[in-house]
Structure 1
Amino acid sequence: MTYLAYTTHAQLAALWLSCVGWTLTAVAMGLVQWRDWKVSDRAVISSGVAWVGIWKACFNSHTLVSPGFKDMHCQYISLSEAFTPPEIVAGQVLMVLSLLLGLCGNAVGVYALRNIYFGMDKNPLINLSFFTTGALCLLAALMSLIPLLWNLNSVVTNQTISFPPDFRMPQAPESQNVGCGIGVGMVGTTLMVVSGIIFCMYKLPVRLQPRVQLQQDRPAQPGTDGPGVGTGARGKDNTAFESHEHL
């Protein structure tokens, strides 16, 4: 089945896009800069900017420093805390599911391309493998798109979070902007969508069967039974057999 290798150039590029998109999604999930809060009181928040991600809230400070950081104070946001807003809860759950689905989609894509390039599978399973890869990539993109757009809407509408006192975060920022975490996640989601569409669009090509042309118009040659048969096809008569027949 190695003849199908030339039909999967787009799917090979789609697998590369899917891997890059999955990696960017993982990077976005770990970034704390989803929402940039601008604050005026710099007694604790020295830089005047605090960052809120889906896992923790951080800011630079010369008075409060978390272990392992030089000038940064961070507090983890728990899924079960009462103050945790629903968009952050959705981000913690759906981003993890997106990574798992994207990983499965990439694995199925590698399996499908391996079977094509080495001719190790049957034709009906090729379409199913590529469609499964595309469906998993699109579902992973949808899982990550929901918390990204939800947190984006929270920034645009300037929604606040009631952090507990130990976070040392203000109850409401002066203003807030979209952080690079949302931007990186949107790029990764877009790449996953494009790759999923390319995988789902794959169709097996129609194989042309070789045509056998009968040369019926070829003139008969001496010693043949008819047109299109080689010379000497009939052979010579056995005279000894005929003489024995007359006895």
Structure 2
Amino acid sequence: MTQLVDTAHAQLVALWLGFMGWILNAVTLGIIQWRVWHVAPGSDISSDVAWVGIWRACFHSHTLVTPEFRIMYCSSIGLAEDFTPPEIAAAQVLMVLALLAGLLGSAVCIYALRKVYFDLHKSWPIRSAFMCAGALSLLAAMLSCAPVLWNLHSVLTNQTIHFPREFHMPPAPLSQDVGPGIIVGLVATALMITSGAIFLTYRMPDGPELSRQSQRELRQTVRPRMESQTDKTAMSWMCKDNAAFQSHENL
């Protein structure tokens, strides 16, 4: 007979996959190397390679130094700046929303698994909780997938960004490569899609099996109460006053 605990093993694995996807999504948010620009030699960029992320653009330089990055010079990319391309502006907003949706989905899944493993007599909201967790995981995957694919398209089509002069970036790169940020973002999206799909496939046990299980739990709860009531009744019968003895005492 199928037990309620035996129905959520796949969802437990899905929670681990979704949590790994959430961690990789957070890593993607902070990686600088979304786009790898190869530039012409002779500029302030010593290594002839610059990195463009969704928050800042950086490159190694022996003449320009940002104190907190030592020999790396970095400039921040603002959301409301005129030069910020739409794919980077969208990534700044959607990646943060994906992080929040993934965290909320993991929390709902933990609630559902707690119902499965610890509160078997309150099993009615379990499927709804798993459905909600799956929907949030798929939402997080879509929110992160859109900016990642958009930036991937910009790299493959070698689109440029018109940085201000203080960025010391060339007007256009010689070529572009896909950076680790986009690759990690794609992996995170795949993990969250897989996790959400597994959450949505959860099925409760069949009705008769679940009812028999509930009846067994009910018997385990009611039987000690009936036995205690029976013992009290027996004790009250054994301790009943003897009327003949009381009449003899009154003589």
Same fold (TM over 0.5): yes
* Deviations 1:65-108 (CA, angstroms, capped at 9, x unpaired): 11211210000000010000000000000000000000000000
Match of 2:61 in 1: 61
Task: Find the aligned partners of 1:96 and 1:42 in 2 and give their Cα distance.
Answer: 37
Give how far 1:42 is off.
3.8
Give how far 1:119 is off.
1.6
Q: Is the 8 Å Cα contact of residues 4 and 120 (structure 2) preserved in structure 1? A: no
Match of 2:106 in 1: 106
Equivalent residues in 2 for 1:81-100, closer than 5 Å: 81-100=81-100
Give how far 1:4 is off.
1.3
Tell me, which stretches of 5 or more residues in structure 1 are unaligned?
211-247
2:169 is the alignment partner of 1:169 = yes
Task: Find the aligned partners of 1:174 and 1:187 in 2 and give their Cα distance.
Answer: 28
- The letter for the 2-side match of 1:61 is S
Across the aligned residues of Structure 1 and Structure 2, the Cα RMSD in angstroms comes to: 1.4
Task: Find the aligned partners of 1:93 and 1:201 in 2 and give their Cα distance.
Answer: 30
Report SS of the residue matched to 2:69: coil
Task: Find the aligned partners of 1:144 and 1:97 in 2 and give their Cα distance.
Answer: 8
- After superposing on structure 2, the runs of 4+ consecutive aligned residues of structure 1 that deviate more than 6 Å are none
Number of residue equivalences: 209
Tell me, which stretches of 5 or more residues in structure 2 are unaligned?
213-251
- The letter for the 1-side match of 2:142 is L
Match of 2:156 in 1: 156
Deviates more, 1:30-39 or 1:113-122: 113-122
Report SS of the residue matched to 2:125: helix
Task: Find the aligned partners of 1:11 and 1:103 in 2 and give their Cα distance.
Answer: 16
- The letter for the 2-side match of 1:114 is R
* Deviations 1:20-76 (CA, angstroms, capped at 9, x unpaired): 000000101100100000011343100110000000000011111112112100000
Task: Find the aligned partners of 1:86 and 1:194 in 2 and give their Cα distance.
Answer: 28
Report SS of the residue matched to 2:68: coil
Deviates more, 1:112-121 or 1:36-45: 112-121
Match of 1:125 in 2: 125
Give how far 1:121 is off.
6.2
Equivalent residues in 2 for 1:131-146, closer than 5 Å: 131-146=131-146
Give how far 1:205 is off.
1.1
Provide closer, same or farther for how the CA distance between residues 120 and 205 of structure 1 changes in structure 2, counting only shifts above 3 A: closer
Provide closer, same or farther for how the CA distance between residues 117 and 52 of structure 1 changes in structure 2, counting only shifts above 3 A: same
Task: Find the aligned partners of 1:118 and 1:127 in 2 and give their Cα distance.
Answer: 15
Task: Find the aligned partners of 1:79 and 1:131 in 2 and give their Cα distance.
Answer: 34
TM-score by length of 2: 0.81
- The letter for the 2-side match of 1:199 is F
Q: Is the 8 Å Cα contact of residues 24 and 188 (structure 2) preserved in structure 1? A: yes
Report SS of the residue matched to 1:173: coil
Q: Is the 8 Å Cα contact of residues 26 and 99 (structure 2) preserved in structure 1? A: yes
Task: Find the aligned partners of 1:115 and 1:156 in 2 and give their Cα distance.
Answer: 47
Provide closer, same or farther for how the CA distance between residues 121 and 158 of structure 1 changes in structure 2, counting only shifts above 3 A: farther
Q: Is the 8 Å Cα contact of residues 116 and 123 (structure 2) preserved in structure 1? A: no
Deviates more, 1:3-12 or 1:173-182: 3-12
2:191 is the alignment partner of 1:191 = yes
Task: Find the aligned partners of 1:103 and 1:40 in 2 and give their Cα distance.
Answer: 43
Give how far 1:120 is off.
5.5
* Deviations 1:82-141 (CA, angstroms, capped at 9, x unpaired): 000000000000000000000000000111101110026633311100000000000000
- The letter for the 2-side match of 1:98 is A
Report SS of the residue matched to 2:4: helix
2:142 is the alignment partner of 1:115 = no
- The letter for the 1-side match of 2:60 is N
- The letter for the 2-side match of 1:104 is L
